[in-house]
Amino acid sequence: MLKINRIQALKIILFGSVLNAYIFNAIAGGSGPLRLIGMLFMNLSGILLVIYFFKIMMKKFDTNFYFKIMFFLLITWCFITVFRAISPTPQTFITVFGHFLIGWAWMNVLAVVFGFNIFNWIMIFDFISTLLLISSVLTLASPIYSMDVIFAISKIMVFVPVVFITSMYQNKRNKRIAYISLFAFIVNSIFSGQRANLGLILMIISFMIFEFYRQQNIGMYKKIALVFGILIFMLLLLSQVDKMIEKVEGDEDAQTDTRTFLFVELFADLKSYDLVIGRGALGTYFSPYFEYCKRHGLGGDDPDRVVNEVGYLQMILKGGLIMLSLHLLILLPAAYLGIFASNNIITRMCGYYIVIILLMWIINSYMIYSAEFLILWMAVGTVISSKNRKLRNRDILVKINKGYEFAEK
């Protein structure tokens, strides 16, 4: 019988989610053999996630009473949200678990158990760096790709914050990949027209600088040189990125508001009880804007929308204010603990990552079953463990020549 260990399972879970997200976006949600392959890998990933959640949870759920209660409530509500969408018909079951936006999207939270062992991060750094290298190489041919493929490549780049913020202690290979992949991510964002990624990139760089200055075993001259170099890079990026995006897109209006109407339409359609409990994993809302577009042959989404592109609004649509509140009651204190109550680079990176997701949910990052959100909950699992936060850098690093690198245990 084939046996896999915890780290192998984690790699399969992440790879399955990445592959499905890439295929789905590359073929623009179409059908066919590739779509079927993506679905199979997603379900393999999801089933393995559920198995290892219960396997690890039965041994330990390494956190305090508050977080144990909050996670019990959140996981219970996520299961309720999913099962509200399931009916006896096979077609509904296939719909719920065949799309990364619906059923499995609310199972990401189960990845919290992989974060309880801080060394799980160190054991997968090489793996996620390899995925970043692949996405960076693919980015080189962006001028000849369709917009769908360019956007699909960005789904492999979700690991950039993890590797870049910790790059000062990565091995030489991963350190190079960290900088290459950040540059590739910028190129990808320009060609895909994802202006929101500019804010994400600036956050990643800012957090890396902040963390670099907190490290006592790095010389002041290196710190000053890095900051000046990054500041010059950021100024060039800020001054040119909109022009580059406009040139690629042929769109002169870089300031178009594409989010306000999403708030207005959702709250106008939700009744009071829907606002509290949501409409379930298959819940929809009516969009007058897209109904107008459809009626006048202007294209666009279906008026009965299954997704709202604003992350917090998507939570309200599917699970109501209960879902939103439970997320915030976990993520906000977890972010604080990670950044301000931790003694090592990995737990602080986890705190920064949580903040990045919390801010991106305001703009465009809605919940799907993907590595982006599996990593989020793994990060939460790491920072809510007081044992992990008490570890110092010397406990997770090993001296290599004149520097330090992460030590695998």
The Cα–Cα gap between 94 and 89 comes to: 9
Which of these, 49, 33, 172, 186, lies nearest to 114 by C-alpha position?
Answer: 49
What does the H/E/C string look like for 171-238? CHHHHHHHHHHHHHHHHHHHHHCCCHHHHHHHHHHHHHHHHHHHCCCCCHHHHHHHHHHHHHHHHHHH
Q: Which structure tokens are listed for 355?
A: 């903040």
Q: How far is Cα 270 from Cα 286, in angstroms, rounded to an integer?
A: 9
C-alpha 396/C-alpha 6 separation (Å) is: 19
CB 6 within 8 A of CB 52: yes
Residue among 291, 196, 289 nearest 242 (CA): 196
Q: How many CA atoms lie within 13 A of 314 on its CB side?
A: 21
For 295-345, write each residue's pLDDT tens digit: 877 777 788 888 888 899 999 999 999 999 999 999 999 999 999 999 999
Q: Would you say 110 and 377 are in contact if contact means Cβ atoms under 8 Å apart?
A: yes
- Sequence-distant (≥ 6) Cβ neighbours of residue 173 within 8 angstroms: 126, 129
**What are the pLDDT digits (tens) for 18-72?**
999 898 888 766 667 888 898 999 999 999 999 999 999 888 888 889 999 999 9
Residue type (1 letter), 179? Y
The whole-number pLDDT of residue 388 equals 95
Q: Which residues contact 104 (CB under 8 A, 6 or more apart)?
A: 42, 43, 46, 97, 369
Closest CA relative to residue 350, chosen from 112, 11, 66: 112
User: In which band, very low, low, confident or very high, does the pLDDT at 147 lie, cut at 50, 70 and 90?
Assistant: confident
Question: How deeply is 293 buried, as exposed, middle or buried, from its count of CB atoms within 10 A (0-12, 13-18, 19+)?
Answer: middle
Cα(330)–Cα(266) distance, integer angstroms:
25
**Residue 245 is encoded by which pair of tokens?**
């995006």
Query: Is residue 3 over pLDDT 50?
Result: yes
pTM score of the predicted model: 0.90
| Residue 125: pLDDT over 50 | yes
Residues above pLDDT 90, as percent of the chain: 48
Confidence of residue 1 (pLDDT cuts 50, 70, 90): very low
Q: Is the Cα dihedral 237, 238, 244, 245 positive or negative? A: positive
- Compute the distance between CA of residue 402 and CA of residue 211 in angstroms, rounded to an integer: 20
**CA 153 – CA 163 distance, rounded (Å):** 17
Q: How far apart are CA 100 and CA 301, in angstroms?
A: 18
